[in-house]
Amino acid sequence: MIEGVNEIISTKLNPNVLPHLHIWEWHIPLYLFLGGIAGGLLLITSVMIVMRRHFGIGPKDEGDGCPCGAVRIGSILSPALLGVGMLFLFLDLAHKLYVWAFYTTIQPTSPMSAGSWILIAFFPLAVLQAMVVNRKYLDKLNIDLLNKLIKWTDDHLLKVALLNAHIGVGIGIYTGMLLSFFSARPLWSSSILGMLFLISGISSAAALMLLLAPKDEKHIYSRIDANAIWVELVIVGLFILGGVTGTANSHGAMMHLINGDELMAGMPYMYWFWGVFVVTGLLIPLLVEFLENAGFHLHLPPIAPILVLVGGLVLRFLIVFAGQTYHTFM
C-alpha cells in the first residue's frame, strides 16, 4: 500500500519519466568537444613529430629533441583535456560509485563499452610522447624511472607517434560514433557524424595550436585549420543532405535542427546552427585564414581560432540537444 501519495500526474507526461529532454545534459557535449580536441591534438602533434624526426621538415627543433612550443604544449594538453572530458563524463553518471563496472567487462555490441576502453588505451602512449617532447624539463628532475621511460619512448618515437596518430583519429571518430549508433534518435543516426566530429576536432585542435604557436610557425597551423574547415563544410553539407533527403524520421530530425524553433540558451536551434556554427564558426574563420594565408595580413587579434573553438563547442551542444528534443524513431 502506498501511503501519503499525492501525485498530480500519473501518466508518462511526467517530466521525470519521459526522458526526451534530460538524458544527457551539458556534461556530454563538453566531453565530446574536449575528446575531439584531444584526439585532434594527438593527431597533429604526432604528425609533426613524425615530420620532424623522419623527414626533417615541419616545426623547428628547439634543441634536446623538443619541437616548437605548440607541439610541446599540445602534447601535454591532449591527455590533459581528455582527462577533463572524462571528468565531465563521470559527473554525468547517475550511479557514480559504480563507474568501475565499465572496466570489468567488454561488451562487443556497445560503442560506449569500446569507448571506455579506448579512453584508457589513449593515455599511456600519449603521456609518454608528451614526456619525450618535454624531456628538457623532465631531465632536470633526474628520476631514474622517468629517464628510462623517456629513453625507451625516444628510441621508438616514430612507431609511438604513428600509433598515436591513429589513436587520435580513433578518439575523434569515436566521439561522433558514440551518438551515431543510436538508431532510436533520428538526428544522431547518421554514419557521417563520426567524420563530422573527427574533422571538427582536428579543426579545433589546429585552432588551439594556432593560438599557442610562435609567430613564425602560426602559418603551419593556420593552413591545417583552413583545410580542416573546408573539409568540415563539405561534411556538414553531406550531413544536412543525408538528413533532408532521408526517411521521414531523418528529415524531421534534420529540419528540427536546421530550421527548428526549439530554444537552446534562449535562441532557436536554427540561429545557433546557421548563425553561430556555420557562419561564425566556419565561414568567417575560413575567410580570415584564407586572407592571412594569401598574404593579406589583417592584423586582427586571434579571432579566427577562437571562433573555430566556439563553433566546435556549439556543434556538440546542438547535436546532443537537438537529437534528444526531437522524438524517438517513429
Partner 1 sequence: MSEKKKNYGMIIDTRVCVGCSACVYACKAENGVPEGYCRDWVVQETNGEFPKLAMENRSERCQHCDNAPCVTYCPTGASHYDENGTVQINRSICTGCKACMAACPYDARYVHPEGFVDKCSLCKHRIEKGLKTACVSLCPTESLHLVDFDTMTAEDKAMLSGKDVYRQKEHAGTEPSLYWISARNKPGA
Residues that bind partner 1 (CB under 8 A): 1-2, 5, 7, 10-12, 14, 16-20, 23-24, 92-99, 101-102, 104-105, 107, 109-113, 115-116, 181-185, 324, 328-330
Q: Which is nearer to partner 1, 226 or 253 (CB)?
A: 253
- Tell me the closest approach of the beta carbon of residue 238 to partner 1, in angstroms: 23
- Tell me the closest approach of the beta carbon of residue 7 to partner 1, in angstroms: 6
Closest CA to 326 of 193, 190, 184, 181: 184
Q: What pairing do the DSSP bridges indicate for beta strands 267-268 and 263-264?
A: antiparallel
- Tell me the closest approach of the beta carbon of residue 101 to partner 1, in angstroms: 4
Contact partners, residue 45, CB within 8 Å, separation at least 6: 71, 74, 75, 78, 129, 133, 164, 209
- Tell me the closest approach of the beta carbon of residue 38 to partner 1, in angstroms: 20
**Hey, is 316 helix, strand or coil?**
helix
Q: What are 306's three cell numbers?
A: 577562437
Q: Which is nearer to partner 1, 57 or 330 (CB)?
A: 330
Q: Which is nearer to partner 1, 107 or 259 (CB)?
A: 107
Q: Which is nearer to partner 1, 109 or 142 (CB)?
A: 109
- How far does Cα 139 stand from its chain's mean position? 32
Q: Which is nearer to partner 1, 115 or 311 (CB)?
A: 115
- Tell me the closest approach of the beta carbon of residue 278 to partner 1, in angstroms: 26
Closest CA to 33 of 320, 225, 280: 320
Residue 162 C-beta-side C-alpha neighbours within 13 Å: 5
Q: What are 170's three cell numbers?
A: 580513433
